[in-house]
Amino acid sequence: MRRRSTRHGSLAAGVVLLALGAATASPPSFEELFVPRTLRIDLVRSGTASGHGWSLLRLSTEGAWAGPRRHLLDPHDLGGARVVLLDASSGERIYSRSFSSLFDEWLATGEARQDRRRAMTETIRVPCPRAPVDLLIEARDDDAFSEVFRWPVDPRAALPPAPAPAAHETVVIRPGPPRARAVDLLIVGDGYPDRQREKFRRDAARLVDALLAIAPFRDRQDLFGVTALRITGRGLGPVEPRKGLFPPAALTAFDTFGSPRYLLPFTGSRLQDLAGAVPHDLLVVMVNAARYGGGGLFGGATVFTADGEYPEALFIHEFGHSLAGLADEYFSSQVAYEDFYSPSRRPWEPNLSASARRDALPWADLVDPATPLPTPDLPAFDGVVGAFEGAGYVPRGLFRPWRRCRMRDKGAAEFCPVCRRALAARLDFLADRPLKPAGTARGPKERTQYTVERRMLTRLFRPDFGPFAEVWRARRGRTPRYLRCTIASERAYTFFAPRWTQ
């Protein structure tokens, strides 16, 4: 009896150990799932606003994989689409990355709504799997992703890498850390002939310096490695339809969707062929033109003119689109879209909200309880995180977190705290750094008491703040710009305002 009990006890212990081993088994590593090369996927998306679909064009391999190796599954709920790799044998997700498609923007134009058909190419880069996988494209629908395309992929059937373009010039602008821990930025020069070789280098260095001078890039300079690729040959420069200019080797084009300043890649496949020779996380196209123009798509290329108006501000603004999916916050400029943001759908962009309710704001953790919602669009609220109406090309119904952020005003000095947090999170993701949970980009909130003489204050207005009688603003001194107050005496007021600890 005792021996049988011992046998059963040993069996039970073995079962427990197996269960513990299964529970604590770590997920497969990058090296187990992938080879350190890049698999390029070229797709075609075609149709109309009433119906459209995806098709596979080609699979090919490229050089070293430049993306993250720890963060294989995209943690951020961004983009209008997502590429997913499924292990063919287990069905487990082994890789995902969100992105936005130019085709989605076209669907919001009058041309698409007239049932005219159009096709556009989409290039996606993923790490090259060791074994067969299922390629999925998931599209956002009513704030959720659903499968719209699936294709079995055997990496052994992918085309070999294209020969590197030997004639083009590559310049290291900023050496970075090892590729697996770096944010690798590639700047492709469009329209720089040989006689402007030095100008190309100066322009690239100038724009990188401007980017790294502001937060959150300033605090993460050590993550960046920057390489510039100057395209040589004849027939360079952007397409300008309104001027009748169609250079045969153009990489970019103005007048996208009829908007004169909307500058995007003209022949996406050729640009991707050239860019594929240099491993990169982020792609920038710097156009040697004096005309103002630019564009950026989340997960795609940032395009801007180096000699137009405000080139540094333009580059940084468009880079916000490409890196973190930040939305345009302006609403007075002419665009080609019709109802780009559906009233029935929550915007996925981190700096837009369809509601000013505190419990509906994506950035509610950054809003002080004393801040009125919606927040008045007045100079007194400069530097205050709130819910300012007017964003996403419409003056009503969409809200932005700051009065004057880089995503609204090219003259703004900085990104707002909401945009900075989104940009920093994406940089940390690309550099394989530990990721912070949403809402913890800044430290805990503390209440700090201030006493200020009444003569140093100006009254703003008298909203109902419950126990707080009035709202004032300090004219000078190191006091918060926006203050809640209670009457302490006839001459002095006591304030309680938030302070963020780093």
pLDDT in tens, 312-333: 999 999 999 999 999 999 876 5
Q: Could you give the C-alpha distances from 234 to 197, 286, 292, in angstroms and in order?
A: 14, 17, 23
3-state secondary structure 92-150: CEEEEEEECCHHHHHCCEHHHHCCCCEEEEEEEEEEEECCCEEEEEEEEECCEEEEEEE
Q: Which token pair is 461?
A: 């207005």
User: Do 138 and 84 contact (CB within 8 A), yes or no?
Assistant: yes
Residue 255 has pLDDT above 90, yes or no: no
- Sheet containing 470-474: give its strands across: 445-453, 492-500, 483-487, 470-474, 457-461
Residue 189 has pLDDT above 80, yes or no: yes
Residue 178 has pLDDT above 50, yes or no: yes
Q: How far apart are CA 58 and CA 135, in angstroms?
A: 13
Q: pLDDT > 70: what percent of the chain? A: 78
Q: According to the model, what pLDDT value does residue 331 have?
A: 78
Task: Find the mean pLDDT for residues 267-280.
Answer: 84
Residue 65 has pLDDT above 80, yes or no: yes
Residue 119 has pLDDT above 60, yes or no: yes
**346-368 per-position pLDDT tens digit:** 889 999 999 999 999 999 999 99
DSSP classification of residue 153: E
Residue 250 has pLDDT above 90, yes or no: no
**Of the candidates 205, 276, 292, 183, which has an alpha carbon nearest to the alpha carbon of residue 240?**
292
Q: How far apart are CA 149 and CA 171, in angstroms?
A: 39
Any idea which of 8-12, 111-115, 374-378, 458-462 has the lowest mean pLDDT? 458-462
**466-484 per-position pLDDT tens digit:** 333 334 444 333 344 444 4
Q: According to the model, what pLDDT value does residue 494 have?
A: 40
**Of the candidates 326, 323, 289, which has an alpha carbon nearest to the alpha carbon of residue 304?**
289
Q: Could you give the C-alpha distances from 237 to 165, 191, 232, 255, 291, in angstroms and in order?
A: 18, 4, 11, 14, 12
Q: How far apart are CA 19 and CA 314, in angstroms?
A: 56
pLDDT band of 486, cuts 50, 70, 90: very low
CATH number, domain 169-324? 3.40.390.10
CATH 3.40.390.10 residue ranges of the chain are 169-324
Residue 129 has pLDDT above 90, yes or no: yes
Any idea which of 37-41, 228-232, 377-381, 491-495 has the lowest mean pLDDT? 491-495
Q: How far apart are CA 290 and CA 346, in angstroms?
A: 38
Assigned fold of 30-157: Immunoglobulin-like (2.60.40)
Query: The pTM is what?
Result: 0.81
Which has more confidence, 436 or 182? Answer: 182
Q: Which token pair is 372?
A: 């009125």
Residue 39 has pLDDT above 80, yes or no: yes
Q: According to the model, what pLDDT value does residue 1 have?
A: 40
Q: Which token pair is 367?
A: 């809003």
Which has more confidence, 22 or 75? Answer: 75
| Residue 396: partners with Cβ closer than 8 Å, 6 or more residues away | 389, 390
| Residue 84: partners with Cβ closer than 8 Å, 6 or more residues away | 93, 95, 96, 135, 136, 137, 138
Task: Find the mean pLDDT for residues 153-177.
Answer: 84
* Total Cβ atoms within 10 A of residue 356: 17
Task: Find the mean pLDDT for residues 56-84.
Answer: 94
CATH 2.60.40.3250 residue ranges of the chain are 30-157
- 238 — alpha (psi -120 to 50), left (phi > 0) or beta? beta
Q: According to the model, what pLDDT value does residue 91 have?
A: 93
If residue 275 lies in a helix (H) or strand (E), which one and from where to where?
A: helix 268-275
Residue 99 has pLDDT above 90, yes or no: yes
pLDDT band of 268, cuts 50, 70, 90: low
Q: According to the model, what pLDDT value does residue 341 have?
A: 65
* Mean per-residue pLDDT over the chain, rounded: 81
- Sheet containing 51-64: give its strands across: 51-64, 34-48, 118-129
Residue 227 has pLDDT above 80, yes or no: yes
Q: According to the model, what pLDDT value does residue 442 have?
A: 36
Q: According to the model, what pLDDT value does residue 147 have?
A: 94
Q: Could you give the C-alpha distances from 282 to 107, 202, 431, in angstroms and in order?
A: 25, 20, 12
Q: According to the model, what pLDDT value does residue 441 have?
A: 37
pLDDT band of 343, cuts 50, 70, 90: low
pLDDT band of 10, cuts 50, 70, 90: very low
Q: How far apart are CA 309 and CA 303, in angstroms?
A: 14
Q: How far apart are CA 461 and CA 473, in angstroms?
A: 10
Q: According to the model, what pLDDT value does residue 338 have?
A: 57
Q: According to the model, what pLDDT value does residue 115 have?
A: 81
Chain position carrying tokens 């059963």: 8
Q: According to the model, what pLDDT value does residue 232 have?
A: 85
Q: According to the model, what pLDDT value does residue 337 have?
A: 53
Task: Find the mean pLDDT for residues 3-32.
Answer: 55
Q: According to the model, what pLDDT value does residue 186 have?
A: 96
Q: According to the model, what pLDDT value does residue 114 have?
A: 84
Q: Which token pair is 38?
A: 């890049």
Q: Could you give the C-alpha distances from 19 to 12, 15, 196, in angstroms and in order?
A: 11, 6, 66
Q: pLDDT > 90: what percent of the chain? A: 53
pLDDT band of 236, cuts 50, 70, 90: confident
Asked if the peptide bond before residue 374 counts as cis, ω within 30 degrees of 0, the response is yes
CA atoms within 13 A on the CB side of 159: 10
- Sheet containing 294-296: give its strands across: 169-174, 224-230, 183-190, 282-287, 302-305, 294-296
